[in-house]
Structure 1
């Protein structure tokens, strides 16, 4: 996918990885970059056009699709993390909230913009996933549910949009140094480096990018006798 002269929409572009992605595509020569956020006034990066976009709001999605008829790259970045385990009393509510933003939002946006991308030559969809699509750790239970579902959705989109020549790139990473993970005590990647690797993978026509050692190690461990997603063995 050629980013030079591309028209790009990035959800959750007001901070963290979304803002870093906006900086990266601008540096790569994108012609127009739209930054989606619930509060468009929070999108302040020079060169980015703010657009009101709550990914859980059907009216916002429809309006965005009407407003950007020349879109060539959709980056589904907006996400939430509640820090809930699957066995806690409020797990169902947490899972529903995370699924609405992390799964159904990107799905609805992809559906809304797929015809636009087709008209404009195919283009690309980037879904920001996670190493937690594949494993679950304490406090990530419901988030992992949402990201595992988003990974499956991404794979479905890739197959379904193949004939219209739309590249569908899934990006996996461990924790990043963003507001979302402020209370997480673990190694974290710099959003700018993650964004750089995503843009490079997009330009190279890749279908998947693993942006840090955490994501690479988790995926490599799929073939281990006891894969990481099985967790710790029960005591003997």
Structure 2
């Protein structure tokens, strides 16, 4: 015999069963999401390797009967890789979802440029900032392709499968070199590094768009979720510029 409190404390069999079913559903849903994410990553990686590594090499190999110089063939392969990448960007940029994605990309850059110029992070200030940024991932991808052209000069393997395999294995090394170069280009005012950053900035005109104010607000909230930008401005500049002025304009 249970007291009233003990009776209420006991979960009913139906409720316990329903909770177990809900838990099982959530577990299966998370497993499916994880599996889908892994499958998407693997498929995307495979497509990227085929389009931007294997395909340029195979197309350039077709000209080996007419071009005897390995240096010229490597240059042709690199030019094809960059050409295919730009065509790919131009094609996906025609999709409405991608246009919106590129606008959010522009909002991200504007927020960072606004902060790095020492201004308060709000819609009025961010709107005036540039949508191009030297440390952008688009610039990094272009650096990867340019560095690969140089490194592939030194590959002298006749076997086609081995040459493709070596190109794939060199990707981590190429990525590391490209990362260091993009940091140099972003953090130095030396004219050589500024010129080196120009192609990446030009590419960003394809991969970014001007955002509307609602997208800028999303960008601001995203930055605020990551770190305290007011503390950053105080530490880096000793002052937060444009906060009051921008607040008046936004009203």
Same fold (TM over 0.5): no
TM-score normalized by structure 2?
A: 0.27
Normalised by the length of structure 1, the TM-score is 0.28
Q: Which has the higher contact order (CA 8 A, sep 6+)?
A: 2
| Structure with more of its chain in helix, by fraction | 2
Structure (1/2) with the larger strand percentage: 1
Which structure has the bigger radius of gyration? 2
